Amino acid sequence: MTASPRRLAPRTLRGRLALVSVAAAALLLATLTVVFATVATRHVRSQADGRLRGTLAAVASTVDVSGGRVRVRETSHDDVLDSHVWIYDGARVVERPPSARHDPRLARAALRTARRRTATCATVGASDGHTGWRLCADGVVRGRPGVRVVAALDLTPYADSTDALVTGCAAFGVVTLACTYLLTRLSVGRALRPVAAMTDRAAQWSAVSSTGRFASADAPRELHRLGASLDVLLDRTRSVLRHEQQLTAELSHELRTPLTRIVAEVEMLRSRPRGADETRRAHDVIAAAASSMRSICDTLLTDSRAAAASSEAPGTCRVRTVLEGVAAAGRRAGITVLVDADPDLRAGVSGAVLERIVSPLHANALRYARTSVTLCARAAGDGVRVTVADDGPGVPPPFVPHLFRPGRRADPDDGHDGAGLGLALVVRLTRSVGGRVAYEPRGRGGRFVTELPG
């Protein structure tokens, strides 16, 4: 049974990238080797042709065709004629090398080359252990086309040089591929260290609650985008968990009162016999409490299901939309309300909770403002910073430590009927969702800053 290619492929990303790099490098090196071998072969052939033309010129200078006869003059370089040179006068051989008797195929190839009327070169196959021969022919005298000289050159040394070069290139390619594989694995492993760190952080954050972030400023751009996407997913998960916790807390808080009434009525019925009127009244109280519990459960569960079916993450809201609703709900003649927030800015609390937090601050700002109130929201790190500011007299410095205590007012005789519970409610709601609220003194007017989860 043969293994499928998918099983033979590396299972790690580092191994797969290294394999792809090696395959690409192998294809490139193979192409370059073929091109190099072709160029080297042509260069070697050009060198052989140059040497053969030099031999033809030297031999032509020794040929005498005066008197109608073709003769070869004796010179001090007679060894040239012994180096595979033929001289033909038509079909008659004037001179031939001594080795021609032992290689008749080479002699026949020389005759065919000599019969060609133009200066030409040709390559013949192997003979007597030689890799091949290169033959060139040329005329001796322009007026005597039948007199031609043919020179042959053994290509074995040139072929050996070419083979050595190609072998060296192949060995260099193998070493290059090995180095490419190792370097790619090391480089990819180093590049994936941030991903491994993100994986470790994700495993750690899944075990314990954390407010950490995946995206970091020093990470590469691609990993920064991945971290930002994971942060969005993490924020959505936190919003869902926060929403479920709030739902559980609200169910527990709202159901406690009617359930207590039911338990009390049942215990009173068990404690002593009662008349028909008292029993009927107890049953009415229990029925009303049960109906109240059912109404509370239906309301909260309907809200939870609507949030789950919505495309928006449950337990989140668009801050600008809520601030505009608060500004539209509370107005005062002569006071201008400005809303300054990014339309896409989101808070990690539901719109109802954000409205219940901002509304008392907005009402307080309207009460003391002279001409304008500003509702501003900005992203601040992992959360949202909501600021409610007015141009009124501000909070007296001695009263600032008591500002958020229930039932306390800076001036009980200022003419409005507030009970001093609005800011205390803001503090309780803000802390219940994991945020904080503070008063920031400034030169003129009041300024309340609320920090909420994102």
Tell me, letter by letter, the H, E, C secondary structure of 281-295.
Answer: HHHHHHHHHHHHHHH
Query: 45-59, 221-235, 404-418, 437-451: lowest mean pLDDT where?
Result: 404-418
372-380 and 336-340 beta bridge pairing: parallel
Q: In this structure, what token pair is assigned to residue 142? A: 């322009």
Query: 84-88, 191-195, 317-321: lowest mean pLDDT where?
Result: 191-195
* Alpha-carbon span 52 to 86, nearest angstrom: 12
CATH T-level assignment (fold) for domain 221-309: Helix Hairpins (1.10.287)
Q: Which of 148, 135, 141, 140 is nearest to 87 (CA)?
A: 148
Contact (CB, 8 A) for 141 and 67: no
The reported pLDDT for the residue numbered 207 is 46
Q: In this structure, what token pair is assigned to residue 262? A: 């039911």
When pLDDT is cut at 50, 70 and 90, the band that residue 254 belongs to is: low
Which burial class, exposed, middle or buried, applies to 422 when counting CB atoms under 10 A from its CB (0-12, 13-18, 19+)? middle
- Mean pLDDT across 299-309: 59
Residue 362 pLDDT greater than 80, yes or no: yes
317-318 and 71-72 beta bridge pairing: unpaired
Contact (CB, 8 A) for 247 and 300: yes
Residue 1 pLDDT greater than 60, yes or no: no
- Mean pLDDT across 110-122: 77
Query: 28-37, 264-273, 322-331: lowest mean pLDDT where?
Result: 264-273
Give me the residue spans of the domains in the chain.
Answer: 13-64+72-161, 221-309, 317-453
* Alpha-carbon span 166 to 172, nearest angstrom: 10
DSSP 127: B
Tell me how many degrees the CA angle 275-279-284 measures, rounded to the nearest 5: 150
CA atoms within 13 A on the CB side of 139: 12
Residue 170 pLDDT greater than 50, yes or no: yes
Contact (CB, 8 A) for 40 and 162: yes
- Mean pLDDT across 70-94: 71
DSSP lists the bridge partners of residue 63 as 72
When pLDDT is cut at 50, 70 and 90, the band that residue 366 belongs to is: confident
- Mean pLDDT across 186-193: 79
The reported pLDDT for the residue numbered 240 is 66
When pLDDT is cut at 50, 70 and 90, the band that residue 419 belongs to is: very low
* Alpha-carbon span 81 to 367, nearest angstrom: 123
List, as one string, the DSSP characters of 284-324: HHHHHHHHHHHHHHHHHHHHHHHHHHSSSPTT-EEHHHHHH
The reported pLDDT for the residue numbered 447 is 85
* Alpha-carbon span 287 to 267, nearest angstrom: 15
When pLDDT is cut at 50, 70 and 90, the band that residue 382 belongs to is: confident
* Averaged pLDDT score across all residues of the chain: 75
CA-atom Rg of the chain in angstroms: 50
- Mean pLDDT across 69-89: 70
When pLDDT is cut at 50, 70 and 90, the band that residue 5 belongs to is: low
* Alpha-carbon span 127 to 110, nearest angstrom: 13
Cα diameter, the chain: 164
| Stretch (H or E) spanning 180 | helix 156-191
When pLDDT is cut at 50, 70 and 90, the band that residue 348 belongs to is: confident
Which burial class, exposed, middle or buried, applies to 134 when counting CB atoms under 10 A from its CB (0-12, 13-18, 19+)? buried
337 contacts: CB under 8 Å, gap ≥ 6: 327, 330, 331, 362, 366, 372, 373, 374, 375
| CATH numeric code, 13-64+72-161 | 3.30.450
The reported pLDDT for the residue numbered 412 is 53
* Strand, helix or coil for residue 82: coil
Residue 208 pLDDT greater than 50, yes or no: no
CATH T-level assignment (fold) for domain 317-453: Heat Shock Protein 90 (3.30.565)
In terms of pLDDT, which residue wins out, 293 or 374?
374
Residue 255 pLDDT greater than 80, yes or no: no
